[in-house]
Amino acid sequence: MDQSARAGTVDNQKVDACSMLSDPSLYINRELSWIRFNQHVLDEAKDPSHPLLERIKFLAIFANNLDEFFMVRVSGLHHQLAEGVIKLPPDGLTPMEQIERINHDLTPLLLEQARVWNEVILPELAQEGIIIHNRSSLDEKKRKILRKYFYREIFPVLTPLAFDKSHPFPFISNLALNLAVILKRPGSPDELFARIKIPKTLFSRLVKIPSDNERNEIDNIELIFLEDLIADNLDLLFPGMEIVASYPFRVTRDADIEIEEDEADDLLSAVEQSISKRWIGTPVRIETSMDILPSITEMMRTKLARYPHMFYPADGPIGMADLFCLMNIDRPDLKDSPFAPVIPERLEADPDIFNVIKQRDIMLFHPYESFQPVIRFLNTAAHDPDVLAIKITLYRTGTNSPIIQALLDAREQGKAVSVLVELKARFDEENNIGWARALERAGAHVVFGIMGLKVHAKLCLVVRKEKTGIVRYVHMSSGNYNAVTAKIYTDIGLFTANEEISSDVSHLFNVLTGYSQYSSYHHLLVAPGGIKIRIISLIEREIERQHTHGDGRIIFKLNALQDAEVIRALFRASQEGVVIHLQVRGICCLRPEITGISDNITVTTIVGRFLEHTRIYYFHNGGDPLVLMGSSDLMPRNLKRRIEVLYPALDPGIRNEIINTILPIHLHDTIKARMLKPDGSYVRIPPNPEKPIHAQKWLLDNREIWNRNILLNTTG
């Protein structure tokens, strides 16, 4: 065979291999994978090892996650159906097929959610002296007390809206809880319809029942859902009418706002104009009580529903995300034990944080280690007379942010402050607009994101004038500059004064704030473009190592794996014998353990007390390992439509701690870990009674020990 013929054969083999690895049966649908993740959240609500109120918190998280899922993901599928634009994912499911599968997979989970609430949580709450009444369980004494409270406090703010020939069907805003009321005039057989919006933004969803006998009832907390209280007093709202029945319902609307960036004068105006449309988007889900009359359902179908699958009857409270309010009950015995995050000894021993960072890189692993050093870093920079400038990216900062306050203080001290505020951080747009304007008023240079991209990278740069010249100090992280989420999300942050990394970060800020096209970074991997290309090339390097030495090994710990090209690269590595461990907290579209394709790939997930949010990419590299950390998952949105950053652990002590402690303890979890099977289901890791491992608990219990290990590794 001549050379050209052999080349043609090789090319054909590559085409055949690529075609085989593109087979839809090798991929799990993104939306269905997400539902499996949320099922794990629901499982935590059933886990008796969690304190009772924490289990209710997981029920609320499950419900809140579903709200966002419908507002963003399901609404996107509806858009495709309405516009006739079919975008087939790698798994090959059409939009309607995905919607049907979503409905099929969610139905048993919603029934289980209601069962857990009704049969498990409510009785256990009652045993603890926290009684949640329904209308039928109220005695006359409590009913009279509540009626007085209702008439005095709630009645004045309610506005019943009739629906008939002279009254149009009322607009139902997004996620608003409502009562559908059926009425009759005396002597008339005709039924009338009215709608009452439940004012849960003005009152707690669960109303505490006032007591007239504190001595006898001081040990009990008695509550009633706001909608039940209103339903029990409808005669006051409709005097002279017969109240036939009432049913709670809620409408979820498309809230994935489309920002017409090209048509707006500036990005701030575009975001502000789009936010106002969030609450009036097209309906995508209608939640009703299980016993609602078919006539009301049919009316809602006519006025609100585009498809029959949009109805979700509930056998429990609608909008369980509101159950977060139960966490306000002062019962520490029913909550997780508080813990004090540690501060690395080097930072505690030396008050000069810049001196500590300059000596050697410092890693912070939240929430086991405190977020306070990050706040201290910025506060010190704000008041240090030698600091000339501070640059930072802000994605989600939270309310009453100490980070924002430090930046405002820096402006008062005359520092040059440059802040990139990502206005398009979904559901945080209004909060970020407020912070952006406050920083602008203080004289900071504020950049409102980048047209066509989200800035998701978490970076802070401090420029300081020292005796030896200008020194740049950098903080980078997988998590937001948010002191609240730093207590409940697991994230890795890094302080460094490494000149090459500092130079990289400086150049990247110039890209973000100006017209720089710089791309020749020493160490940073920057998306769009750079991360995907580099990750795939590193996978290919492990394949080559496997060919020559048989020691190819890859470990990824991340939130989501969806990108088809990266998945195909992992398939190729598995086919060549590279051992691959993936720990994916949420969405994973790769099917593991398929003979001849992914039989060298294991996928696990951990859902527990803390939200696993860390991204770590480990490549064995023949014993000279490369460890990357940062903000990016392996999803098309991260790799193509966001500014993301991955950075290496250059310090050998930090790298060793990640390789020898953080990754192994998570990969060997036998309590909270689940393993992904080829059919897309998950199974619990078989427990080892002799050596059970609970990664999050171990890291909490041993945070001071492994913190000292980092100290020893980085100074030895």
Catalytic site positions:
456
Handedness of CA 524, 712, 709, 656 (dihedral sign): positive
Contact 308, 301 (CB under 8 A): yes
Helix then strand count (H, E) for the chain reads 25, 27
User: What is 394-461 written as a DSSP string?
Assistant: ES---SS-HHHHHHHHHHHTT-EEEEEE-TTSTT-HHHHHHHHHHHHHTT-EEE--BTTBEE--EEEE
Contact 184, 192 (CB under 8 A): yes
Nearest Cα neighbor of 629 from 607, 606, 613, 652 is 613
Helices (H), 22-160: 30-45, 52-68, 75-83, 95-115, 122-127, 140-149
Distance separating alpha carbons of residues 146 and 224, to the nearest angstrom: 10
In angstroms, what CA-CA distances link 433 with 169, 427, 460, 580?
A: 34, 12, 20, 42
Helices (H), 590-669: 636-640, 652-657, 663-667
In angstroms, what CA-CA distances link 409 with 276, 373, 387, 405?
A: 32, 17, 13, 6
Distance separating alpha carbons of residues 228 and 317, to the nearest angstrom: 10
Distance separating alpha carbons of residues 352 and 363, to the nearest angstrom: 17
In angstroms, what CA-CA distances link 420 with 379, 396, 415, 446?
A: 18, 12, 16, 6
Distance separating alpha carbons of residues 81 and 600, to the nearest angstrom: 38
Which residues face 167 on adjacent strands? 164
Distance separating alpha carbons of residues 618 and 614, to the nearest angstrom: 13
Q: What is the distance between the terminal CA atoms of the chain, rounded to a whole angstrom?
A: 59
700's enclosing H/E stretch is helix 695-701
Question: What percentage of the chain's residues is helix, strand, coil (to nearest 5)?
Answer: 45, 20, 35
